[in-house]
Amino acid sequence: MQPVTLPDRAMITVSGQDAQEFLQALITTDLDLLEDGEAKPGALLTPQGKILFDFMVSRDGATINLETGADQAEALLKRLTMYKLRAPISLSLANPAAVAIRFDEAPGAYRDARFAKAGLAVFRTYGGEGETAGTGDYDRLRIQSGIAVSGSDYALQDAFPHDVLMDKNGALSFKKGCYVGQEVVSRMQHRGTARRRVVIVAAETALPETGTALTVKGRSIGTLGSVIGASGLAIVRIDKAGEAIASGEPILAGDTAVTLTLPTWTGLDFPAEAGEESA
């Protein structure tokens, strides 16, 4: 597959002697585990544990890069500036930023850790151009891999990190200590209360549009996100989906019958009964 240029991306750089220490106390990603040449997902949460901003994190020497959506970049920069106080760091924003997806390694490329979890080699490059205008190949691979993105699959300030598999893809640390919203997500983790999860949706005909409810017996269990043809992603109540699958009740996206699968790389299963914890 040819490299693809992603539209509507921005880059915030955090530099200075305390850049890593500053971010380590704020964001979900454990920067001590961030390797050179790697791009990891991450988020800045609300105190209530919901995703306020999301991004891909990489390092360039002592500088930490936060690649984020162009529509949230200014607000994220403002929030980081609010936390900065007198810390000896510098914040800068490039909006828009040239971000390309490659399917082979190249000099200066960062391996996308989300796809690596699924056993796939996908790389992000900054400052260059992709060779195709559309993002179809990338989005198809993302859907097949169960990788959700804000805007298409969930709204910021509406989803918990567990909802979008951040506890499984390396975005969420339970060991590094305190950061904004950490108590809430740690409680969800240790109590096993996460019930909304990203699933891969498939149908025999074209799926309806993004935002369509997934229902069982007329009751919503989730909402359809990214869609390409007969495949898509959704965030659903996996306990309710598990009940339907176990009993043979049809699951519908609008009027279209669908099947749901959890991404294999997560190790999750549908609970057979409501209240049963998933793996």
Residues 177 and 199 occupy one common structural domain: no
- In sequence order, the β-bridge partners of residue 130 are none
In terms of Cβ atoms closer than 10 Å to its own Cβ (0-12, 13-18, 19+), residue 204 is exposed
Residues 217 and 100 occupy one common structural domain: no
The helix/strand/coil state of 185 is helix
What CATH number is attached to the domain comprising 221?
2.40.30
Is 57 within 8 Å of 40 (Cβ atoms)? yes
Cβ atoms < 10 Å from Cβ of 240: 24
What CATH number is attached to the domain comprising 53?
3.30.1360.120
Is 261 within 8 Å of 199 (Cβ atoms)? yes
139 DSSP 8-state letter: H
Residues 124 and 146 occupy one common structural domain: yes
Cβ atoms < 10 Å from Cβ of 182: 19
Cβ atoms < 10 Å from Cβ of 63: 16
C-alpha pair distances (Å), 252 with each of 121, 148, 228, 246, 269: 33, 20, 17, 15, 20
Per the structure, the count of domains in the chain is: 2
Residues 178 and 200 occupy one common structural domain: no
Distance CA 46, CA 268 (A): 26
Global pTM reads 0.94
Answer whether the bond into residue 96 is a cis peptide, omega within 30°.
Answer: yes
- Residue bearing tokens 């796939």: 120
Structural domain range at position 237: 195-266
Query: pLDDT digit of tens for each residue in the chain (279 aa)?
Result: 888 999 999 999 999 999 999 999 999 999 999 999 999 999 999 999 999 999 999 999 999 999 999 999 999 999 999 999 888 999 999 999 999 999 999 899 999 999 999 999 999 999 875 566 678 899 999 999 999 999 999 999 999 999 999 999 999 999 998 999 999 999 999 998 899 999 999 999 999 999 999 999 999 999 999 999 999 999 999 999 999 999 999 999 999 999 999 999 999 999 976 444 443
